[in-house]
Amino acid sequence: MSNESINNSRFLVAQDWSAWGNISLKLATIVFTVWDVPAAMLPVRVLATHPGWQANPPSQSLTTLVQQTLTDWTPQQISGLYLGFLGSCEQVQLWSHFAQSVTGLVLVDPAMADHGHLYAGLNQDYVQAQKSLLKTADVLTPNVTEAQLLTGIQITNEQNLRAAMMALQAQMRGQLVVVTSIQHGQQIGCAYLTQQQLHYVLYPRQTKGRFGSGDLFSSLLACFLFSRAAHNWAIDQATRLTNQAVRQTPTEAPDVCISAILPELWQLKRRFYHE
């Protein structure tokens, strides 16, 4: 497949930017650059550091800039959209309105919670706002906690997981739901449905979690799907590379380190575009 077919397209990525730390938009920018996906990167909030490093860091909302930018642009200029952490109900509403007119792939990572709890500063109003965003999504990548919040279904077994995924599908424009942070014994990974068949992609769980691993997975998946990769291949590769990055992150590092996987991502891109 030649990458010439997407050179005239722009895939819009919108999420927060942390000056200190390697997550969210900073991480997505690296991944999209290596995979050579033409993209417009729009920060929705700038933080001195992400909250995993420091509780309540200095930050500045860019809602006014985002509103002006989305008014200046037209959805027809955007061939795809990847939304991550938005941080306020007002931002979610802005993007819900804009995304309705985007005809290309819309991937939503409803980043708002983990390990059973909402992120600091968010409440149930934000959860409700995120639900309104689902109707614009072709692809959704919640972790287990986010899937539970969006559906009201406690995911304790495979039956609950399937029910939650089908409930999410019923609210979406598309049908691809990939639930991350799935744990089976000593393995961790993701699950997704194809024609009501539940699939798992799992790898040995590491002893320490890393901030940004969900961001990395969604960024990789967005790149692969925007490049028109098959869904199962994209999910397999995104999970594999995320696991590899977590495994190779130095013990003392709180954020996932992607430098170790960049050479492999580059080689994978060369093989993908020449097949």
Chain segment 140-188, per-residue pLDDT in tens = 999 999 999 999 999 999 999 999 999 999 999 999 999 999 999 999 9
Which pLDDT does position 8 carry in this prediction?
A: 57
Q: pTM, whole model, 2 decimals?
A: 0.94
Residues 6+ apart with CB under 8 A from 6: 37, 38, 79, 226, 227
Q: Rounded to whole angstroms, how far apart are CA atoms 71 and 53? A: 34
Q: Which amino acid is at 264?
A: E
Which pLDDT does position 206 carry in this prediction?
A: 86
Q: Which residues pair with 118 in a beta bridge?
A: 113
Which pLDDT does position 86 carry in this prediction?
A: 96
Which pLDDT does position 148 carry in this prediction?
A: 98
Give every residue of the chain whose pLDDT is below 50, as ranges: 1-7
- Half-sphere exposure for 16 (CA within 13 Å, toward CB): 30
Q: Where are the domains of the chain?
A: 3-274
178 closest CA partner among 209, 116, 212, 220: 220
- Half-sphere exposure for 114 (CA within 13 Å, toward CB): 16
Count Cβ atoms below 10 Å from residue 24 Cβ, excluding itself.
26
SS3 18: strand
Ramachandran class of 115: left when φ > 0, alpha when ψ lies in -120 to 50, beta otherwise: left
SS3 186: coil
Residue 7, both tokens? 């050179």
Superfamily of domain 3-274: Ribokinase (3.40.1190.20)
pLDDT tens per residue, range 141-152 = 999 999 999 999
